[in-house]
């Protein structure tokens, strides 16, 4: 059965639709030129990815994990973790951060890879299961409705990034340090040497 023939409330059809939505946003970001347009796309994509991750981790993954196998599922878990760290860092940065566009680009590349593996390996394997995918999909749709109405809970990755509070040695922080640091000039080195010589003569 082709994915386009699946009912709209089929769990796999819901995931595929989410995948298409975020990929369209990633393409839109690449074409955007103004900062305001990019920020709008970032906000939309981050929100969609947060909700999608919750639906997968809380509902879909537990239902298919045993059949799909630990190797694929564990890799998916780790890919989610990496994506959520980047999302948390985006949530804790502003448009003035010159690494923000780069961070979102890396997020998009990571998520594209994750989607490709899911659609080529995990979802075909999961579809072999003899379970009610429409009932599973309805649970996902109900949960999505709750999240949109009540808000998205803070995850472990956001707590981790907030706890660091900018103290982590991120690429952006390292780049900022390199901008403000100045190498010691030969003149300043000579001045230090002269001071040391004067002190030694006094003693």
Kindly state the DSSP code that residue 6 receives in the 8-state scheme: S
Question: Is residue 66 in a domain?
Answer: yes
Question: Is residue 52 in a domain?
Answer: yes
Q: How many helices (H) and strands (E) does the chain have?
A: 10, 0
First to last CA, the chain: 91
Domain count, the chain: 1
**Dihedral of the alpha carbons of 112, 118, 123, 126, in degrees to the nearest 10:** -160
Burial letters 139-155, b for 16+ CB under 10 A, else e: bbeeebeebeeeeeeeb
* Per-residue pLDDT, 199: 44
Helix (H, G, I), strand (E, B) or coil at 33: coil
Question: Is residue 134 in a domain?
Answer: yes
Q: At what angle do helices 100-117 and 11-31 cross, to 10 degrees?
A: 150
Q: What is the residue whose two structure tokens read 């579809």? A: 127
pTM of the predicted model as reported, rounded to 2 decimal places? 0.81
Question: Is residue 177 in a domain?
Answer: no
Kindly state the DSSP code that residue 52 receives in the 8-state scheme: H
Radius of gyration (C-alpha) of the chain in whole angstroms: 24
Q: What is the residue whose two structure tokens read 């000039």? A: 185
Question: Is residue 190 in a domain?
Answer: no
Parent domain of 119: 3-169
Question: Is residue 191 in a domain?
Answer: no
Question: Is residue 203 in a domain?
Answer: no
For residue 27, what is the domain's CATH number?
A: 1.20.120.520
Mean pLDDT of 33-59: 97
pLDDT in tens, 60-95: 999 999 999 999 999 999 999 999 999 999 999 876
pLDDT in tens, 90-129: 999 876 767 899 999 999 999 999 999 999 999 999 999 9
Question: Is residue 128 in a domain?
Answer: yes
């Amino acid at each position: 059965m082709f994915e386009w023939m699946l009912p709209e409330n089929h769990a796999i059809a819901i995931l595929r639709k989410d995948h298409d939505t975020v990929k369209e946003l990633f393409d839109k970001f690449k074409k955007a030129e103004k900062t305001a347009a990019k920020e709008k796309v970032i906000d939309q994509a981050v929100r969609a990815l947060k909700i999608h991750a919750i639906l997968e981790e809380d509902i879909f993954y537990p239902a298919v994990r045993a059949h799909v196998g630990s190797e694929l599922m564990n890799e998916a878990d780790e890919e989610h973790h990496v994506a959520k760290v980047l999302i948390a860092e985006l949530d804790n940065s502003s448009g003035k951060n010159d690494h923000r566009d780069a961070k979102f680009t890396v997020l998009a590349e990571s998520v594209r890879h994750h989607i490709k593996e899911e659609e080529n390996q995990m979802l075909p394997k999961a579809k072999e299961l003899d379970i009610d995918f429409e009932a599973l999909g309805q649970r996902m749709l109900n949960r999505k409705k709750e999240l949109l109405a009540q808000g998205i809970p803070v995850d472990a990755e956001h707590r981790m990034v907030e706890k660091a509070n900018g103290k982590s040695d991120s690429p952006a922080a390292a780049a900022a340090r390199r901008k403000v640091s100045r190498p010691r000039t030969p003149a300043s080195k000579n001045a230090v040497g002269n001071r040391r010589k004067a002190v030694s003569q006094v003693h």
